[in-house]
Every structure is written in C-alpha cells, then in structure tokens.
C-alpha cells in the first residue's frame, strides 16, 4: 500500500450510534421496509428520521480476457428507465457470505462463472435515507457457467447482455449516459485500481465487511 503523506490526515468511517428513544415500522415489504426512529441529538433535542431498511446487495464487475466489462440492460420501474447495469442482487439470506451471493447472481443473470474474485469497493448507496450497503466485486477469468441456464422471469426476462471496453463505459458514465450506481462506482473504482497499485493489490474476496457481517 502507498505510504501515507504525513501532511494529510488519515480518514476512515467509524461506527457510532446515537440513542433511539422510540422506533416504529409503518411499512413492511417483501424485501425492504420503512422504519421511523426518534433520535436523541448531541444537543439534547430529538429528531425523527424515516429510512428504508434494506438487506444489502452485491454487484459484480466481470472483466473478460479482452478487458471488457459484462453489462446487462434491465427495466427499472421506479425511475421509468431501462438501465445498463452490472450483475447484482440482494443478500436474501441473513448472514450469507457475500461472495457466494455474487457468484450466484453472476450465474443467474449472465450464465457466467469466474475463477478469480476480489473485493473492488464497498459503498452505502443513500445513507441519508436508506441503510443499504453494497459490496462490489471484481471477477476475472470468466467463462460460460457449467450448469444449465437459470430461468428468469419478470424484468429479468427482458434483459440484454453486452461486453463493453472499460474506457467506453467510463466515458458514458462521465457523460451522463449511464446512471446505475453500482456500474458507475464499479467502473470508476476499477479504473482507479488499474492506475494505482494494480488489481492484485485489491482486498481478497473474503475480506471483512462491517456493514454486513457474514459467516464463512
């Protein structure tokens, strides 16, 4: 890892929890819910915070031997758009190892497997209004999955698939043509890793994830 400049302070997110004096769950959905907390502020006042409770997600930047990224096009009803995305999905099983979930999503959505896995980046999507945490993996040495193709339904049945050179994706993200969160963060993080210490310096696939602790 690069040496830290002595003139620049080291910064890192830190756990902290302000007291909750009351809580309610006005809406419970099949995958996510809405929670209302009354939070005691440092000045002694109480503020009400409404936010979405989310199980967490994984996403995969799958890079082929020609340094192209595998992307999928899927209709997203809340934004009324068909978005190009990277394979991704929910952490449906509490305590599930995120690597196993990512491998499952890559197979189910793209019918692809990978031999080399690294953690690319961890993010909170919208921490002001949702507790969703996403772990984005880098998958290399990809090939067609051995198992039969997974049968998809709903929006996933209409997905298109493409493999696009990384620089082309980055230009489209910066140009406002691609807006999916995980695709944007993943491709920009991959570009930064390539320009920095290289892909082998990325964290191992089983690196701890404090936002969503998991079993081995």
Cα-Cα-Cα-Cα torsion 115, 120, 123, 125, nearest 10 degrees, comes to -70
Element (H, E) at 2: none
Helix axes 166-174, 181-195, angle to 10 degrees: 120
Q: Which residue in 156, 160, 177, 215 is the catalytic one?
A: 156
Nearest to 39 by CA among 55, 16, 15: 16
With vertex at residue 178, the alpha carbon angle to CA 175 and CA 183, rounded to the nearest 5 degrees, is 120
Between the CA of residue 54 and those of 28, 40, 129, 160, 200, what are the distances in Å? 11, 23, 11, 27, 31
Task: Respond yes or no: is residue 156 known to be catalytic.
Answer: yes
Burial of 65 (0-12, 13-18, 19+ CB in 10 A): exposed
Residues annotated as part of the active site: 156
């Amino acid at each position: 890892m690069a040496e830290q400049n002595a003139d620049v302070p080291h910064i890192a997110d830190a756990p902290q929890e302000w007291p909750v004096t009351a809580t309610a769950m006005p809406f419970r959905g099949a995958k996510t819910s809405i929670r209302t907390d009354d939070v005691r502020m440092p000045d002694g006042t109480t503020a009400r915070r409404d936010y979405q409770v989310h199980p967490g997600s994984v996403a995969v930047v799958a890079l082929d031997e020609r340094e192209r990224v595998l992307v999928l096009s899927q209709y997203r009803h809340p934004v009324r758009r068909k978005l190009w995305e990277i394979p991704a999905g929910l952490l449906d099983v509490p305590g599930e190892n995120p690597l196993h979930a990512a491998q499952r999503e890559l197979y189910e959505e793209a019918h692809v497997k990978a031999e080399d896995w690294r953690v690319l980046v961890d993010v909170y999507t919208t921490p002001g209004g949702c507790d969703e945490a996403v772990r984005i993996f880098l998958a290399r040495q990809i090939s067609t999955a051995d198992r039969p193709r997974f049968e998809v339904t709903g929006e996933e049945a209409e997905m298109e698939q493409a493999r696009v050179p990384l620089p082309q994706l980055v230009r489209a993200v910066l140009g406002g043509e691609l807006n999916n969160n995980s695709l944007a963060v993943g491709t920009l993080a991959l570009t930064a890793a390539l320009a920095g210490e290289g892909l082998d310096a990325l964290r191992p696939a089983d690196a701890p994830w404090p936002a969503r602790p998991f079993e081995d």
